[in-house]
Structure 1
């Protein structure tokens, strides 16, 4: 892929996003405009290490794929095809594009491949599956509408206070611990309670975060955090709805799971988003996290993008 290809590929991206919004109207309308889509594509193209491929039919571009590496060691020697990194007129074309682009990626030693695919496009998702990819993560959105679920007996959800910091520091470890167990097997980098305590000493006063705790029999059993989506480093560009709140974290101690605490915490963040004037709420989850992948859709979240993953054995 070369700079001369960007204008035509930007038009393909804008058309892809237009079709995506027909299925998910909460996504931003801005990127249906070619100039806005082109800016996102250009920014990706100018990322250090970016490379990809363009498919032509009768000298006219009919698709592209564009990826770039991330420096975090969590992801391995990687390439990411983000939300602005692909568009095709025919889903099957993506398989030829990947074959061309991945030749270079693997030659460079980048064997962990991640791709963000519009969730509504079943043909495109299937084409990636037929390239050996599987779903790792779900990105999802819902309208900011107040919840009306009955209260859970014996459970109180409230805003966190400074006295909750020890419990919050412990709860910060629960999500990576859960991800490290079956069937997710992906703990990431684990922090320590001491590191979490130090962060919460400052973070508890952050007006940009809405931190909730669930309390049962006088003890904190879970927590959740809401904030503006702009604070997220994951939901960017075409994957970022306008004026959206973000359910960025939720965890419940193992002994308290299965009683509705996670759902109650999610509802608290959604209601906070409504009160804060957001139009929608965004979240994401590992699809192998059995609790999250059942709780968040039950609250009304629908998948907007799927993160797919493949590791190439060399």
Structure 2
């Protein structure tokens, strides 16, 4: 089937949003802790309207021979300052196809045809992004493996995973750790929490994440949790052994979204010193945090981790987090065009 690609404008939002709502509704039914959430989740028109309202958004849609929309794609530019904490996880000049930023028509069309539609949409938008010197492209989507595979066939890879877990009443607790004590952290612990958060971030410089951690952004991270440590809706704990700080965990209220329910708390930091790993300290910290979360009315907890991390990628699924969202990434090296072909 031949498709025609043209700009996506606000007048096309209802039609595009219908594609998105159908896909997200189906995807959620296959994800943990999602059924029954559709009414409380942001609708397609709301998500897409916010994306199109953003400055510099590149958006296109495709139509088949019957005139019906076969898909759309909208990418938003990302420009991060050197001291922005977000620069620890994303390249400072890039582009994002966020949640609600794309959808394809389902139904009787085969996967090959949907792949062709996605390739055409991405090729059109990517040409404009590269012309604007944006060589790193991200995609956020529900943990729908079929949809992710279509992007993989466009050259993307899995960069981060978002997981979700139910918060339940206190049950079986992890085995104790010799001479370990855990105490609640407060505003006076900002230096300790900041120092350990920086150490956790610096680990991403190594194998197999290999993500640069700009020093100005690390400096921002040192004081980033000042508000959380003073907020009764957030919680933080420090693990000590014989007076030495060897670990910490920080929880804050999560922002609800397409795969994150209302009343959810987010695990934003967790750290155990290298010499103390493998003893179960992270499980003790998490159990302490989960008991507090339940007592404060949270019924779900979310966390995200690098797909390439040799520590996080194994640990968080093992303790009960189940994937609900993916962030995909494609890196285009501009140096390839600077070298003459032979």
Give the alignment's TM-score, normalised by structure 1. Answer: 0.88
Aligned to 1:245: 265
* SS across alignment from 2:79: coil
Aligned to 2:319: 299
* SS across alignment from 2:71: strand
Structure 1 portions without partners, runs of 5+: 231-235
> Residues 247 and 266 of structure 1 are in contact (CA less than 8 Å); yes or no, is this contact kept in structure 2?
no
* Residue 256 (structure 1) shift: 1.4
C-alpha separation in 2, matches of 1:49 and 1:28: 35
Q: CA RMSD in A?
A: 2.6
C-alpha separation in 1, matches of 2:208 and 2:41: 41
Aligned to 2:163: 140
* Segment drifting more, 23-32 vs 110-119: 23-32
**Could you say if the C-alpha distance between residues 165 and 46 of structure 1 is closer, same or farther in structure 2, counting changes exceeding 3 Å?**
closer
1:39 aligns with 2:63: no
Aligned to 1:116: 140
* Residue 147 (structure 1) shift: 5.1
Structure whose alpha-carbon radius of gyration is higher: 2
* Residue 103 (structure 1) shift: 1.5
Give the alignment's TM-score, normalised by structure 2. Answer: 0.82
**1:59 maps to which of 61, 67, 70:** 67
* Residue 153 (structure 1) shift: 2.3
Aligned to 1:169: 194
**Could you say if the C-alpha distance between residues 207 and 298 of structure 1 is closer, same or farther in structure 2, counting changes exceeding 3 Å?**
same
* Residue 141 (structure 1) shift: 0.8
C-alpha separation in 2, matches of 1:144 and 1:101: 41
C-alpha separation in 1, matches of 2:189 and 2:41: 48
C-alpha separation in 2, matches of 1:193 and 1:63: 40
* Residue 3 (structure 1) shift: 1.8
C-alpha separation in 2, matches of 1:66 and 1:210: 36
1:265-284 matched pairs, under 5 angstroms: 265-284=285-304
Aligned to 2:93: 77
C-alpha separation in 1, matches of 2:61 and 2:271: 43
Structure 2 portions without partners, runs of 5+: 1-7, 82-86, 107-113, 335-342
